[in-house]
Amino acid sequence: MARIRLGMVGGGNDAFIGGVHRIASRIDDRFELVAGALSSTPKKARASGEALGLPRIYDDFRQMAIREARLKSGIEAVAIVTPNHMHYPAAREFLKRGIHVICDKPLTSTLADAKKLVKAAEKSEALFVLTHNYTGYPMVRQAREMVADDIIGKVRVVQVEYPQDWLTKEETFKQAEWRTDPARSGAGGSTGDIGTHAHNLARFITGLEVESLAADLDAFVPGRLVDDNAHVMLRFHGGAKGMLWCSQVAPGKENALRIRIFGESGGLEWAQEDPNYLWHTPFGEAKHLLTRNGAGAGDAAGRVSRIPPGHPEGYLEGFATIYSEAANAIEAHRDGKAPDPDVIYPTVLDGLRGVEFIDACVRSSQRNSAWVTL
Amino acid sequence: MARIRLGMVGGGNDAFIGGVHRIASRIDDRFELVAGALSSTPKKARASGEALGLPRIYDDFRQMAIREARLKSGIEAVAIVTPNHMHYPAAREFLKRGIHVICDKPLTSTLADAKKLVKAAEKSEALFVLTHNYTGYPMVRQAREMVADDIIGKVRVVQVEYPQDWLTKEETFKQAEWRTDPARSGAGGSTGDIGTHAHNLARFITGLEVESLAADLDAFVPGRLVDDNAHVMLRFHGGAKGMLWCSQVAPGKENALRIRIFGESGGLEWAQEDPNYLWHTPFGEAKHLLTRNGAGAGDAAGRVSRIPPGHPEGYLEGFATIYSEAANAIEAHRDGKAPDPDVIYPTVLDGLRGVEFIDACVRSSQRNSAWVTL
Amino acid sequence: MARIRLGMVGGGNDAFIGGVHRIASRIDDRFELVAGALSSTPKKARASGEALGLPRIYDDFRQMAIREARLKSGIEAVAIVTPNHMHYPAAREFLKRGIHVICDKPLTSTLADAKKLVKAAEKSEALFVLTHNYTGYPMVRQAREMVADDIIGKVRVVQVEYPQDWLTKEETFKQAEWRTDPARSGAGGSTGDIGTHAHNLARFITGLEVESLAADLDAFVPGRLVDDNAHVMLRFHGGAKGMLWCSQVAPGKENALRIRIFGESGGLEWAQEDPNYLWHTPFGEAKHLLTRNGAGAGDAAGRVSRIPPGHPEGYLEGFATIYSEAANAIEAHRDGKAPDPDVIYPTVLDGLRGVEFIDACVRSSQRNSAWVTL
Amino acid sequence: MARIRLGMVGGGNDAFIGGVHRIASRIDDRFELVAGALSSTPKKARASGEALGLPRIYDDFRQMAIREARLKSGIEAVAIVTPNHMHYPAAREFLKRGIHVICDKPLTSTLADAKKLVKAAEKSEALFVLTHNYTGYPMVRQAREMVADDIIGKVRVVQVEYPQDWLTKEETFKQAEWRTDPARSGAGGSTGDIGTHAHNLARFITGLEVESLAADLDAFVPGRLVDDNAHVMLRFHGGAKGMLWCSQVAPGKENALRIRIFGESGGLEWAQEDPNYLWHTPFGEAKHLLTRNGAGAGDAAGRVSRIPPGHPEGYLEGFATIYSEAANAIEAHRDGKAPDPDVIYPTVLDGLRGVEFIDACVRSSQRNSAWVTL
């Protein structure tokens, strides 16, 4: 099976997430990176492309979309790893030319853009994959399967959080800079950058949608223009309740995404920093610790595991799973088929839900934490 | 130094917390239990008193208060360990006769009673000690000392929670029964029984008072008359923000009280189920794990430790510390002195704060989670 | 039921373990301390007894044994908490007068003394209880019950260790001083002080006796006369194998006693510093975490638990369980009965096994780690 | 920089470690797999090569060595991932033709072969890299750097272990089959397969060599021809002592490689299943938890980290680091230079040490655990 020809928009020399996408695309050997417009600055785009030894280097993404679409062996898919505000304009160009899009999150920097992107994706024959990468962790898949199989009963309570500490002080380095600029990142700060991950993880595992939320957002660091800490109460369709906390000013927390779900007959607990474990606490029994690919873990986790239990898989492997799911879908698409029903990846609609979440948080907080319907 | 003569109200044969108070009173050998009215049912009061070999057994607490006050060697202090609604009437009788009161929490079942009890305590020469026992844990004292010493900087965020699972299903046994009856437990269910512990712990460690809160309370088990799960957003005087979660329907959680505090320069984390540890995470340094009485722990924790580090102290020892602090205060009172400034115990005002917290949670929830000022 | 009248030998003002015994004897309210010879220095014995408000204070233990035996309400039991070399002479005096002995470990400082003490105990009608206190932890009882019930199958491998760090440097304070003096502590240093605990714990849980051992002992701190680190390979009767490590020079380790047992169908793991947990890892299933008194824990643990799961019990409670088991046995003895078969406590023979273990370690190490039969 | 052309010997369809090597070689994009003799069965070799889309597929490794050496763009390096007994014959063919060898561990199945392979490597201009992959974990590098920098003082005690449970029962599947056949795996079972990892890790971090060892080996499963559990006492040159335990019959243990090192002024602890953490316990201070790339971690770890702290890296990333170090060395070799002094990888001499370790374990155990000098 020939590897899928991949292009990349963004991800130049000093970016972080572009490098992650590139490793993720290589791990399972389903993609080959052959083209890129790696920066909005042509000179940097060219230097970055050369550093990677890319066969085809472009000054900007429009140029790349146009030319690649015309090539016989042009790219079949593009990874968009720019700051948030460029997701929509870039994705649009490729979608309308039938090139599959693998896009970083949040979907867009504004709700209006998100809606337009949904339409663009719906109109296109190409696939749209959003890298809510935490859904690629095997034990997240395991948790989702257990909820779906009614192992913990009807969900009552969801506690999800994503604290970090890297913005505890005023920061000026690149990663911090665009993420705290509303023009590029959107109206949400921590809510957009990491709150959307927490929100999506809750949705992914429980299968529940947030009906409304009440949020209290803060920018603790003086002069910061977007939230760096958010407290959110959640009401899900169907009656479950939840709390969501995200923060970038929590000293000692690195990427401490964690979710706990309590149903009528059991609980589940998973933490991103120790991702090969899943606690299952059936009511009235000893607590169970499941390990990735280990005894007691099921098919959904095993399907996306590469190595035996006790040999930890990490963030890059989880990210690679999103790429491999994309590959599964793209290969099926090549043949005009639907992918295997086990293939799961976040879609443009998941992206829309995320931007709606950010928007609702901001509006609720502006209205003194009034409940806002999503 | 003669041991303090102690009486007890409530705590008969099948009660839980009465036995805890009795062990706690013995651990440091400062008290001697010499009288009791251990049940509101005279027959049971008598049988329970005899089972304990009490020198003086009473049918009811009024009788006990009257007679003990007249005895030359009557009780100097009384432990009140009844259901909540009896705290006020019982405490009043002893306070007005100059007998020190050691009372279980929450202070009362209604806000009106709480205010009356504050007045009664203020009028009395006797001391009033509330057994918010978690404040007796050495590493809680350590945390409080560190916040006071500005080790983590100005507090920005407080995350506190107290989940349990024992009311996941409908329950009919005694401990569950009165705790889910608003007439005896008060308007709060989980908020009163355990939420007050979480609220008090946050106040105790940070020294901050809650300015207002927004709450979303649920009774997930059909037919339950009081909340069994509560989500609360907090705003503290001075600008810190917080979240508080308490639940009695969280399968797998036993008594998982946990607090995390984040300041401008560091974080602290403590969990009741593993109480001999305290995480301190100074921003920009390796994470520090402090152990009770271990290297790096300070005087406030050492003062209330009994044994070397690595030999765990538990719940009963923490509870005993409240009794020993009471003994310190009572002995100073015998001599007409103020106790040593290091002596710390929860007071009737802490109890009032707790009942105000319950009341605010209930009112906010009734008003669709509107912010309610305390 | 009248409390058992207790005396104490050793445990004066600046001792550590005496205070622990006294708290342990009070927790379950089965004993009353009424007499003491708390030091070998009469002046200190008197001052220490007065500080505790003891009714009867003696200058030395022989005097105490003689006089108490003649009193109508003399002590029924004595706690011996002196340095090791005094255990035998003190215990002998009480045993021969029919006074029950509760003695700290190791049994004696020499193997010859240990054998004499066994004979003295066998000749006496009085009971002899050795405070291998770790056998009082509920989850240790749970583990023992599970092995006995064949839950993990035939035991193959035992890994047990007890590292500490308090003797990492040269120390001169009292606790260190006698423990590193062979005349008072015996030929074993870490082997005697903590290795015996590890050895006894392995025997207690598995029910297996060590057939032979090969040891490599070191005194890492210059000038130290007894071992401060010991590596021991074990062969048990019946074919199981084991390793035992004890150390007092392991920086970061406080009282990190830990045992792991692997059978043909499952494993068990327990750590003294987190004693309310027991891991059970059945082969081919998810790992199970049992909590004290929690779901899935059995009768043996529940019988010696005082409070609900999630409220941690610690070292003092475990120690108190040894006292309560002694009380159970003494009360049965009062009535001329055998105690309930559930009553378990370490005996003089367990003590002999411990001293044999020390002796074998020393001899094996002297013979370049040759296997020595116990 | 052109990617290094890589071949592979072994690693056909149903092998485990071959797939790991392939992913590892891709993660940092320094290699391109272009040729293979993936099985000793020509038909399977061909099918496996085709499944991977290899440009050049060979029936056997000799053929591949001969032909590739003659090609202008033949392979520059070969990964040898066969069962142990084939390492030497395969490596020899490539070494003598100047093709770099990246070889799985243990080095060979016999000590004689190991010595011959050392000579072959010394005679060759090509590099020899042994995939003791655990040395590629960033926090292992961190530990090594800390010992070298004297952060914990002179090392006194090393505790290292590698328990697994996959051979608890009799097994017949392929991975188990050759590993329990002395003809293919060598005289050591668990000692060879995982004990060598533990031994090498201790050497790597401490910089100390084992002077002698005393071992007690067992084959607990009836009929097993090689050890499945080994207890080993270690004496290091310079006076440090150690214990090493490896087992394949420890239910609940997956790949629980763990090392603890205690020096005169501090301790270190690392566990493979949670590899992003390193405990540092300076004597007399709070315990420190270091995280990969996190605050307090140093250059040696940062140099081989790919992503920020809190985003876990795992087994494959650690393995990839060995490949990247090999790439660093190979690229330097292309230019006739020595690699940067920071470049570290296990060599053929490390492999010899490992086979000597296995041999010494077997001999010591045969001589009733007598000390055997390495």
**Which chain B residues contact residue A371 at CB under 8 A?**
368-369
Give the per-residue SS3 of D304-365.
CCCCCCCCCCCHHHHHHHHHHHHHHHHHHHHCCCCCCCCCCCCCHHHHHHHHHHHHHHHHHH
C329 vs C321: CA distance, rounded Å: 12
Using the beta-carbon criterion (under 8 Å), do B251 and A266 form an inter-chain contact?
yes
Amino acid symbol at D241: K
Whether the model clears a pTM of 0.90, i.e. scores above it, the answer is yes
- Using the Cβ of C36 and the Cβ atoms of chain B, whether some distance falls under 8 Å is answered with no
Chain D interface, best mutation among B279, B287, B290, B291, by max D CB count within 10 A? B287
Neighbours of A, requiring at least 3 CB pairs below 8 Å, are B, C, D
- Chain-chain contact of B290 with D288 (C-beta, under 8 angstroms): no
Tell whether C368 is within 8 A of chain D (Cβ).
yes
CA distance A52 to A58: 13
Nearest chain A CA: its distance from C297 CA (Å): 8
- Hey, what amino acid is at D201? L
Which residues of chain D neighbour B294 with C-beta distances below 8 Å?
286
Q: Does B288 touch chain D (CB under 8 A)?
A: yes
> What pLDDT score was predicted for residue B194?
97
Condensed to tens digits (0 to 9), the pLDDT of residues C34-91 reads: 999 999 999 999 999 999 999 999 999 999 999 999 999 999 999 999 999 999 999 9
Q: Which residues of D222-237 are buried (b: 16+ CB within 10 A; e: fewer)?
A: eebebbbbbbbbbbbe
Q: Shortest CA distance to B327 belongs to which of B16, B57, B1, B10?
A: B1
Nearest Cα of chain C lies from the Cα of A351 at a distance, in angstroms, of 35
pLDDT band at B171; cut points 50, 70, 90: confident
Q: Are A244 and A232 in contact (CB under 8 A)?
A: yes
Residue C289 at interface with chain A, using a CB cutoff of 8 Å: yes
Is residue D246 a contact partner of residue D226, using CB atoms and an 8 Å limit? Answer: no
**Do the beta carbons of residue D351 and residue D117 sit within 8 Å?**
yes
A328 and chain B in contact, CB less than 8 A: no
* Phi (first) and psi of residue B167, to 5 degrees: -110, 25
- What pLDDT is stored for residue D183 in this prediction? 86
Instruction: Report the pLDDT value the prediction gives residue D130, as an integer from 0 to 100.
Output: 98
DSSP B8-36: EES--TT-SHHHHHHHHHHHTT-EEEEEE
Q: Buried (b) or exposed (e) across A313-344, using 16+ Cβ within 10 A?
A: bbbbbbbbbbbbbbbbbbbebeeeeebeeebb
Which residues from C are below 8 Å from A290, CB to CB?
286-287
Q: What residues 295-314 of chain B have any CB closer than 8 A to a CB of chain D?
A: 295-297
How close C185 gets to chain B, by Cα (Å)? 20
Omega before D138 within 30 of 0, i.e. cis: no
Q: Is C374 exposed, middle or buried (0-12, 13-18, 19+ CB in 10 A)?
A: middle
* Interface predicted TM-score of the whole assembly (ipTM), two decimals: 0.95
Q: Which residues contact C301 (CB under 8 A, 6 or more apart)?
A: C138, C139, C141, C142, C145, C292, C293
Strand, coil or helix: B98: coil
Structure-token match 């007068």, residue found: C97
Residue A169 vs residue D16, higher pLDDT = A169
Chain C CA closest to residue D170:
C264
At residue A119, the pLDDT reads: 98
- D275-313 pLDDT, tens digit each: 999 999 999 999 999 999 999 999 999 999 999 999 999
Q: How far is C276 from chain A (nearest CA, A)?
A: 13
**How close is the nearest chain A Cα to the Cα of B7, in Å?**
37
Predicted confidence band at C174 (pLDDT cuts at 50, 70, 90)? low
The torsion region of residue A98 among left (phi > 0), alpha (psi -120 to 50) and beta comes to left
Nearest to B310 among C1, C273, C317 (CB): C273
* pLDDT value, residue D287: 98
Confidence of residue B190 (pLDDT cuts 50, 70, 90): very high
CA angle D165, D170, D176 (to 5 degrees): 70
Q: Could you tell me the two tokens for D279? A: 């405990």
Please give the residue of chain A at the shortest CA–CA distance from B222. Answer: A264
Chain A 145-184, residues with CB within 8 Å of chain D CB atoms: 164, 166
HEC assignment per residue over D159-220 = EEEEECCCCCCCCCCHHHHHHCCHHHHCCCCHHHHHHHHHHHHHHHHHCCCEEEEEEEEECC
Residues C197-242 have pLDDT tens digits of 999 999 999 999 999 999 999 999 998 999 999 999 999 999 999 9
Beta strand C31-37 with C56-57: parallel, antiparallel or unpaired? parallel
Contact criterion met (CB < 8 Å) for A295 and C284: yes
Q: What is the pLDDT along chain A (374 residues), one digit of tens a residue?
A: 789 999 999 999 877 899 999 999 999 999 999 999 999 999 999 999 999 999 999 999 999 999 999 999 999 999 999 999 999 999 999 999 999 999 999 999 999 999 999 999 999 999 999 999 999 999 999 999 999 999 999 999 999 999 999 999 987 666 677 778 888 888 999 999 999 999 999 999 999 999 999 999 999 999 899 999 999 999 999 999 999 999 999 999 999 999 999 999 999 999 999 999 999 999 999 999 999 999 999 999 999 999 999 999 999 999 999 999 999 999 999 999 999 999 999 999 999 999 999 999 999 999 999 999 99
- How many angstroms separate the CA atoms of D268 and A17, rounded? 32
* Torsion sign (Cα): D200, D202, D205, D206: negative
Cα of D251 to nearest chain A Cα, Å? 11
D268 DSSP 8-state letter: E
CB D347 within 8 A of CB A350: no
C neighbours by CB contacts (3+ pairs under 8 Å): A, B, D
Cβ atoms of A256 and A161 within 8 Å: the answer is yes
Instruction: Say if residue B273's pLDDT is above 90.
Output: yes
Q: What is the pLDDT of residue B172?
A: 67
Cβ contacts of B285 on chain D, cutoff 8 Å = 295-296
Which chain A positions have a beta carbon within 8 Å of C284's beta carbon? Answer: 295
**What span, in angstroms and rounded, lies between the C-alpha atoms of D255 and D252?**
10
In whole angstroms, what is the distance from residue B324 CA to residue B4 CA?
11
Q: How many CB atoms lie within 10 A of CB C176?
A: 16
User: Do the Cβ atoms of C256 and B310 come within 8 Å?
Assistant: yes
Contact status, residue C46 vs residue C19, Cβ threshold 8 Å: no
Contact D291 B287 (CB under 8 A): yes
**Residue B181: per-residue pLDDT:** 85
* Residue contact B287–D285, C-beta within 8 A: no
Shortest CA gap A287–chain C (Å): 5
Indicate the pLDDT class of residue D16, thresholds 50, 70 and 90: confident
pLDDT for D174 equals 65
Q: In chain D, which residues have their Cβ closer than 8 Å to the Cβ of B280?
A: 286
Are A249 and B157 an interchain contact pair (Cβ–Cβ within 8 Å)?
Answer: yes
pLDDT at C352 over 90: yes
Nearest CA of chain A to the CA of B283: how many Å? 5
Domains of chain C: 4-126 (3.40.50.720), 135-307+353-373 (3.30.360.10)
Sign of CA dihedral C326, C330, C331, C335: positive
pLDDT of residue A327: 98
Contact list in C for residue D269 (CB cut-off 8 A) is 252
Tokens of D295: 């605050």
Contact partners, residue C267, CB within 8 Å, separation at least 6: C152, C260, C261, C279, C280, C281, C283, D165, D250, D251, D252, D253
Given an 8 Å threshold on Cβ–Cβ distance, is B312 in contact with C315? yes
Nearest-angstrom CA–CA distance, C54 and A256 = 55
Note whether A255 and A141 are within 8 A (CB): no
Backbone φ and ψ for B5, nearest 5 degrees, come out as: -80, 125
Per-residue pLDDT of D211-228, as tens digits, reads 999 999 999 999 899 999
H, E, C per residue of chain A: CCCEEEEEECCCCCCCHHHHHHHHHHHCCCEEEEEEECCCCHHHHHHHHHHCCCCEECCCHHHHHHHHHHCCCCCCEEEECCCHHHHHHHHHHHHCCCCEEEECCCCCCCHHHHHHHHHHHHHCCCCEEECCHHHHCHHHHHHHHHHHCCCCCCEEEEEEEEECCCCCCCCCCHHHHHHCCHHHHCCCCHHHHHHHHHHHHHHHHHCCCEEEEEEEEECCCCCCCCCCEEEEEEEECCCCEEEEEEECCCCCCCCCCEEEEEECCEEEEEECCCCCEEEEEECCCCEEEEECCCCCCCHHHHHCCCCCCCCCCCHHHHHHHHHHHHHHHHHHHHCCCCCCCCCCCCCHHHHHHHHHHHHHHHHHHHCCCCCEEC
Beta strands in B131-263 (DSSP E): 155-163, 210-218, 229-236, 241-247, 258-263
Question: Residues with Cβ < 8 Å from B70, sequence gap 6 or more?
Answer: none
Token pair belonging to C37: 């010879």
pLDDT given at position A174:
65
Distance CA D98, CA D127 (A): 8
| Facing B165 at nearest CB: one of A279, A283, A368 | A283
Q: How far apart are CA C254 and CA B123, in angstroms?
A: 49
